[in-house]
Structure 1
């Protein structure tokens, strides 16, 4: 909108005129339009693909092994970059490749860290390490517990983790298929996008009270 003054007094408005391609501007040709579209697509690919491959990617929860933290169909964005600079911590939820079938992805919670021994008796989880050679009971939080049929004791290597589903009775985890190698860990949930009522950052984050 252009403002002009009349007789040096109050400004008066001049109505805007709609421009048409006949007012000295040339309408883009079909070829130019296609080139612009291709340019936009290339830029989008250059930006999006590295993000998908190296920084973050979507993940849809399948099954009930992480109830009540995550339920079937929850849509997550996974942070794939943090674990390149730091190690997973006890209590963190991680996404990883399923050891018996690496083309599949699972989501569980880290319980045992490299070099530790994890013993499960009933619903009690005892963790032994250099700091606590006699072991300490892991404060599990409000998870769905289920008594194990057999007692379990697993000693972890320097690159191994022990993981459990929050819904113990419905989870196939390290109690069944053993320790998880560090190289199979993909990342951790960064954002929950669905359901809309539960949108949030760092979903599933939980820290034990003591060790």
Structure 2
């Protein structure tokens, strides 16, 4: 008796993945690549930050959201007037601030400069600063201090309500995360952060 070839059992051939599974896999790959790129951008290029205090009023207000760019200080050192975001230096950590609790202040003194506060004014190398960006003149006195190499002297624009270098000392360059570049919220004050 000969067997009918149409009735013979056939070995099943493995089915190709369904188009839905293939699309899901492709989307997952895109998502992973996008996540990696976002993490790299945040670590090395720019990141968003939130202003929690009034130490930089009137330039920055509580609740402002900023983009902090991280590239420029690999090309040149921070400059006078730059508004920088930084990790608290050891002297602030000893006061109980967490290592990752970022601060934001304006650079007033660079390495080798002498900073002094007297008669309601800040002096750099015995020259009074013209500071239209501050909330009010400082109501304290600070004896002359020479800014050491590798550090900066930073102050809040709200001089009488700012925990800054006049209180805790010099900011090491290595603690600087980046420069405040763009305010993206609130929308009515959107724009570049002025130095």
Report the secondary structure of 2:61's partner residue: coil
1:175 and 2:166 matched: yes
Deviation at 1:51, TM superposition (A): 0.5
Residue equivalent to 2:82? 92
Structure having the larger proportion of residues in helix: 2
Residue equivalent to 1:58? 48
Deviation at 1:178, TM superposition (A): 0.5
Residue equivalent to 1:106? 103
What is the aligned-residue RMSD (CA, Å)? 1.7
Alignment map for 1:63-74 (pairs within 5 Å): 63-74=53-64
Please give the alpha-carbon distance, in whole angstroms, between the structure 2 residues aligned to 1:151 and 1:45. Answer: 47
Deviation at 1:169, TM superposition (A): 1.4
Q: Is the 8 A contact 2:142 2:166 kept in 1?
A: no
Please give the alpha-carbon distance, in whole angstroms, between the structure 2 residues aligned to 1:37 and 1:77. Answer: 29
Please give the alpha-carbon distance, in whole angstroms, between the structure 1 residues aligned to 2:156 and 2:139. Answer: 13
Deviation at 1:29, TM superposition (A): 3.0
Q: Is the 8 A contact 2:84 2:179 kept in 1?
A: yes
**Paired residue for 1:143, among 134, 138, 143?**
134
Task: Report Cα offsets for 1:167-200 as digits up to 9, x if no partner.
Answer: 1111110010011111111111121110000111
| Matched residue count | 172
Structure having the larger proportion of residues in strand: 1
Residue equivalent to 1:14? none
Residue equivalent to 2:15? none
Change (3 A) 1:115 1:33: same
Identify unmatched segments of 5+ residues in structure 1.
1-27, 129-134, 206-211
Identify unmatched segments of 5+ residues in structure 2.
1-17, 94-98
